[in-house]
Structures are given as structure tokens and as C-alpha cells.
Amino acid sequence: MSDRMPDPQELVRFLARHQGLMQAYAYAIVNDLHLMEDVVQETSLFVAERWAQLPPEHAAAERWLKGVLRRKSLEALREKPGDHLHLDEAALARLDEAFDEPEPDRAQRVAALRHCLDHLAGRARSVLEARHVEGEGCERIAARIGRPVATVYTILKRARQALADCVERRLARAGARP
Amino acid sequence: MSDEIDALILARQAGALSVEEHRRLERLLRDDPAATRRLAYWSRQAVDLRLLLGASAHADRGRRRRAALAAAASVALAAAAALVALMVWPEGDGVTTPSLEQVLAAAPPAPPAEAEPPFVAGAALTLADGSVITREDDARLRRLPAAAGDLLALDDGRIACDVRARAADAPLLVRTPQLELRVVGTRFSVAVSGGTTRVAVEEGAVTLHSARGDRVGRVQAGQWRSVDGRGHDSYGHLGDLGLLRPWDGATPAGSWRTLFDASMPRVLARMRGAVHAEIARPDGLLGALGTVPSSQNSAWSVFELTTRRAGHFLVHPETRLSLVLLQPPPAGDVVLLVLVLNDERGRFVTNLFHHLRPAGRGWNVGGIRVGDCFVGPDGDRSVAELTGMRCVSVIGVVFGPRSREMRLGWLRVADALRASL
């Protein structure tokens, strides 16, 4: 427990600024959106409790935060019942480096994805919602829509690739404007 | 190569990766920096999709939910009014709506703040193995002698159980008038009301037996099951009971919105099994109130209110919130009250924050002035600008990092927001 409590505004600002990083980094490790949210929540609490230990310098603070996220993610995976395929230490170390690189045009990227999603309808959208919002397994989605599970995988893959292409095209167009 | 990397990562995120493919992806992640960059890219896309799709999905569900609640409210109006009257804490220093006063006038005199019934006393039962059984204030729970394990009898009300893993021959048994639950380690709640037992399981699984000892079934994590005295059985996924979430995925005003958009679906999903009151006021306000224990050591107390028809609240900086915590937050905790305000079209307006410092009269955190709240770091309006702002819904979250079972008793709606319907 730290000897000083965080100023709430300062804490909120820090967590808000790093929310995207925390979620994406934790998800890359645990590969489960619900578990990711638990990890982010536990990490937020840890940050609040250990506020005094947070390095003041930005890059060091992010390294510290990723260290906490990684530890909390691995703890969460250990507690998760069943057999799961986890990334090994070396792969995780590489992943750390990838998340050191800042994400360019974050706000534009989210806005572009929102626009692209507006044009995604029908089965692809409902499958994406089932998987990414409700966290449903592909087998269950397949049973619900009455299609083979391989079809669900294909729908998910194509929809996400189409959205990624749409986002890149939109960002490229925006970047090309004077 | 990059096509292969993308295919493997997308398959992993769809849960479709074989062991061999996992090993291949792991090798690529170790040896090829492009692979980890792609994993970062697709992970960011996945969480963004959750955020953006979640906001619109919850808006749809909220509309369906409101329609259902409106129908139920017309039938249960009298009962709901009595419930609201009991829950709203009368106090003389705020603005009250006439409709609420009418309700209060018909209610028994409310006790002073000091007489707030403490939730803690006698409410939490810790078993020898460290399992914790928490009961609601009005739950009738008895502990009975058991040959092996523990035996509890729940006659009425609701309990929440956090049961440590234990041997199959020494289970925790929870006996209700309709069912007997056998538990060997899980988190779940049981509610007995009106001749019905409802079981909601957050983690693990609970086996159900009839009063005669016949096996009725099993409730898995994320499911609920309800059995009445005549053997009528209903069940479903906790996710089927979407709570009010009227915004429609419009552009967020700041990253605090992003933060809460990302966390609220999960919080609300947990709340579905923990709602301890639904509100249906005669003046058209609907809402729900619940406590959401987190996975380890925190709790989100959440309430949500919305208008049933085309009405709105008027926000004024001089209005006050009176908050009743039914349990003191641990010393030194940072407890934030967060109000998420949405406009008439369900679009996000802003978040208001207040650092709660419970003091004085019991746990009644009275008299928080809206004008003293602070707007989120990326909020685009000042509190003063909110004067007269029309809002159709408010989501409030009390967040205490170490408050496992902190409960929000009630927010004085009438003092906080004036309904204009």
C-alpha cells in the first residue's frame, strides 16, 4: 500500500490515457475479452494502490504499467480453468517491444473504424457482435445461426480484414488531403 | 508471410487455433518483429470493436428493456411506489419533485440518517474454510447442523455466496423452500421470493436438487435458473437481461467515455445477477440498483435511471446528491462517484466525478453539490455549462478499490435531478 493516495483527477487522467494500451496489451496476452477486462480492472486497482511507485517519466511509467499488466494477465490465465495455449516468455518479451511503439492516429483510427462498422450489416455484424461483445464461442454462434463452425471462423476473419482494409483506405484518403 | 501471420492471429482470436498452429505463431512472434506488430494491431482492433459494437448493441437492448419495463411498471405501479418511498431518503436541503413528495407522503416516516440499518452486522457469514456468505438486509438465513460440509436454509430474501473449493463429500448445501443447492466452490447468488427460488451463477457451477432430493439440473457460470413451488422451471443466460443503456454509439466526447464504454458492458453484465432493486416511479423514471463484486477485491455499485417516455431530467449545479452507503468504505480508499450523462437522443454528454469522503452522519454522504463535481479530463463542458441540460439517463458508479461489498443504498434522485416529463 502506498503512503500517498492518488489525486483522483490525476489517477483518472492516467488511466484514461492508457486505457487503449492496457486493453490491447492484456488482450494480446490472455486472448479472452472478458478476462482482459478483469485484468485491466485489477491493474487499475493496483495502480491506484501503488500510485507512489509509478515512475514520473512517461516511458518508464508505461514500462511499469506493462509489467503490471503482464503479471496480472499471467495470474488471470493461471486461474482460468481448462487447458489453454499460452504464449511463451520469449514471445511475450517480443510483444512488449511491439507495444513500445506508439499507435499513430489513434483517434482517427477509432473514428474510421466506427464509420466502417456503419457499413457492415447483416450476418457479419451479428457474428462480430456475438464474438466481440457477448464473448460467445464460435461453436455456439454456429449452432445459433445454423451454419458450420468453419463458416463462423470465415465470417469473422473476412469481416475483420474488410474492416481493417476500410480503415486503412479511409486513413490514407484523410492523409492525402491537403 | 504477412498473410500467414494475419491468418494465425485472427484464428487465435476466434478461438480456432490448433496446437500446431499455436506453436507456429509462437515461433513467428519470437523471430519476426512484424508478427508482434500485427498481433498488437489486431488486438487493438478487437478491443475497439468491442467498444464500438458494445455501445450500439447495448442501445438496442436498452430499448427492448425499456419497453418490457414499461409494461411491467403499469401492473406493479403501486408496489413500485411503495418500494421507492422506502428507498428514497427524505432530507430537507434539496429540491424534490412533487410526484416524489406524493409518494413520500404515503410512506411511513423515514428514520434519521443515523438509524440507517447497517449492512455488515450479522450480514456476512464466514465459514470455517473462508467461504463468505453475504445476505441482504431482509434475507432470512439460518445455519443448520450438517453431517458433512455446511448447511444453510434460506427462507426468504437473497444471499451472495463466494465459496472456496471444497471436497465433493463436504459440500455447501443451501436449502430453500423449493430447492437444495450443492456447491463445491463457486460464486453465485440465491434469491427466494414469492414462492420462487432463483439461482444466478457467476463462476463455476451449482447443482440443483428438488426438495425431495431429485436432481433438477445444473446451473453453469453466466446462467440463471428459477424454480417455483409447482415445479415450473425457467432459465437463461445472464446476458439475456440487458439493462438500460440508451446511448446509441454516437461519437464519444473524450477518453473517459472510452474508459467507461469499455468497462460498463462487463460491469452491467455482472450486475444482471446482482440487481437488488428495480425502480419504476409514477413520474416515469425507471432504473435499477445493484452491487457488482469484482473478481477479487473491489466492487462497483451501479445504478442507472432513465425516462420511460420522451422526457428528460434537468441538471442544475446547485442541486445536490445525497448518497447512502450501506457499508463504510475502508479507510484510505479512493471512492469515486461517476455520473454519466446522456442527452435526449441518448448521446453522451459528459461525465461528472466526485471524490467521496464519507463523514459525519453514519454512511450517509449527504449534500454533494453537482457544481462541486469535476468533469472528466477530456470532457468538453464545464459543470456550469450543464445548467438546464436535458438528460434522459444517468449511470452512476461508485468505485472503491478495496471495497469488496460496499453497497450503494440510494442516490437521492429528487435532489440530484429534476424530472421534467
Q: Give this complex's ipTM.
A: 0.93
Which of the residues B8, B20, B24, B47 would you substitute to probe the A interface, choosing the one with the greatest number of A C-beta atoms within 10 Å? B47
- Summarize the confidence of residues B344-357 as an average pLDDT: 56
- Summarize the confidence of residues B90-99 as an average pLDDT: 23
pLDDT in tens, B174-192: 999 888 898 877 777 787 8
Q: Which residues contact B287 (CB under 8 A, 6 or more apart)?
A: B244, B278, B279, B303, B304, B305, B306
Of residues B10, B41, B263, nearest to A41 (C-beta): B263
Percent of chain B with pLDDT over 70: 36
For residues B172 and B152, give the distance between their C-alpha atoms in angstroms, rounded to a whole number.
8
The yes-or-no verdict on residue B30 having pLDDT over 80 is yes
- Summarize the confidence of residues A163-171 as an average pLDDT: 90
- Summarize the confidence of residues B7-19 as an average pLDDT: 90
A8 contacts chain B (CB < 8 A): yes
A109 contacts chain B (CB < 8 A): yes
Question: What pLDDT was estimated at residue B231?
Answer: 65
A23 contacts chain B (CB < 8 A): yes
Question: What pLDDT was estimated at residue B349?
Answer: 58
Question: What pLDDT was estimated at residue A27?
Answer: 94
Neighboring chain A residues of B399 at a CB cutoff of 8 Å: none
Between A121 and B312, residue with greater pLDDT:
A121
The yes-or-no verdict on residue B34 having pLDDT over 80 is yes
B76, B70, B124, B136: which is closest to B284 by C-alpha?
B70
Between B246 and B400, residue with greater pLDDT:
B400
Question: What pLDDT was estimated at residue B74?
Answer: 18
Neighboring chain B residues of A114 at a CB cutoff of 8 Å: 52, 249, 251
A97 contacts chain B (CB < 8 A): yes
Q: Which residues contact B115 (CB under 8 A, 6 or more apart)?
A: none
* Interface subset of A 142-171, CB within 8 angstroms of B: 149, 152-153, 156-157, 160-161, 163-164
Of residues B49, B239, B334, nearest to A132 (C-beta): B49
Neighboring chain B residues of A129 at a CB cutoff of 8 Å: 53, 57
Distance in Å, alpha carbon of A33 to nearest chain B alpha carbon: 8
Neighboring chain A residues of B36 at a CB cutoff of 8 Å: 91, 94-95, 97-98
B128-137, B184-193, B316-325, B345-354: segment of lowest average pLDDT: B316-325
Q: Residue A80 gets which letter from DSSP?
A: S
* Interface subset of A 31-50, CB within 8 angstroms of B: 31, 33-34, 36-38, 40-42, 45, 48-49
Look at A128 and B37 and tell me if their CB atoms are within 8 Å: no
Look at A156 and B14 and tell me if their CB atoms are within 8 Å: yes
Query: Binning pLDDT at 50, 70 and 90, where does residue B25 land?
Result: very high
User: How many A×B Cβ pairs under 8 Å?
Assistant: 172
Of residues B22, B39, B263, nearest to A98 (C-beta): B39
The yes-or-no verdict on residue B307 having pLDDT over 80 is no
Distance in Å, alpha carbon of B338 to nearest chain A alpha carbon: 11
Reduce the secondary structure of chain B to three states and give it as a string: CHHHHHHHHHHHHCCCCCHHHHHHHHHHHHHCHHHHHHHHHHHHHHHHHHHHHHHHHHHHHHHHHHHHHHHHHHHCHHHHHHHHHHHCCCCCCCCCCHHHHHHHHCCCCCCCHHHCCCCCCCCEEECCCCCEEEECCCCEEEEECCCCCEEEEEEEEEEEEEECCCCCCCCEEEECCCEEEEECCEEEEEEEECCEEEEEEEECEEEEEECCCCEEEEEECCEEEEEECCCCEEEEEHHHCCCCCCCCCCCCCCHHHHHHHHHHHHHHHHHCCCEEEEEECCCCEEEEEEEEECCCCCEEEEEEEEECCCCEEEECCCCEEEEEECCCCCCCCCEEEEEEEECCCCCEEEEEEEEECCCCCCCEEEEEEHHHCEECCCCCCCCHHHCCEEECEEEEEEEECCCCCCCEEEECHHHHEEEEC
Q: Which of B23-32, B89-98, B156-165, B348-357 has the highest mean pLDDT?
A: B23-32
For residues B27 and B35, give the distance between their C-alpha atoms in angstroms, rounded to a whole number.
10
Percent of chain A with pLDDT over 70: 87
Of residues A1, A16, A34, nearest to B378 (C-beta): A16
pLDDT in tens, B408-417: 333 333 323 3
Question: What pLDDT was estimated at residue B38?
Answer: 93
Question: What pLDDT was estimated at residue B364?
Answer: 38
Question: What pLDDT was estimated at residue B96?
Answer: 22
Look at A13 and B377 and tell me if their CB atoms are within 8 Å: yes
* Interface subset of A 50-69, CB within 8 angstroms of B: none
Between B191 and B248, residue with greater pLDDT:
B191
Between B318 and A170, residue with greater pLDDT:
A170
Look at B265 and A133 and tell me if their CB atoms are within 8 Å: yes
- Summarize the confidence of residues B121-135 as an average pLDDT: 73
